[in-house]
Amino acid sequence: MLIPVGETVFQYNGIFMLTESGKILWENIEKGVERDGLVAALMEEYGIASDVASADVDEFIEMLKAFGIV
């Protein structure tokens, strides 16, 4: 779960609920892990192919950018 703080409180009325994979990605982003590391984390956790993990990471990052989170 992500809760807006500061100026973003006025932009977003509520919280962002994350899926389990979103949680894994967010926790790694907070640690400073780069895109390739995020892909590897999903591959390791779910045993998925790199192209699937890459697409998931890209979609997640685009969603964060769209909401001004990153």
Please, which pLDDT band fits residue 5 given cuts at 50, 70 and 90? very low
Cβ neighbors of 52 (< 8 A, separation 6 or more) are: none
Domain-located, residue 35: yes
Residue 13 has a pLDDT of: 57
What number of other Cβ atoms are within 10 A of residue 60's Cβ?
21
Domain that includes residue 51, residue range: 20-66
Domain-located, residue 15: no
Buried-state track 10-22, b at ≥16 Cβ within 10 A, e below 16: eeeeeeeeeeebb
How far apart CA 47 and CA 4 sit, in angstroms, is 32
Q: Does 4 score more than 80 pLDDT?
A: no
Domain-located, residue 11: no
> What's this model's pTM, rounded to 2 decimal places?
0.79
- Cα separations in angstroms, 20 against 5, 7, 8: 22, 27, 24
User: pLDDT digit string (tens) for 10-59?
Assistant: 455 566 778 899 999 999 999 999 999 999 999 999 999 999 999 999 99
Residue 47 has a pLDDT of: 97
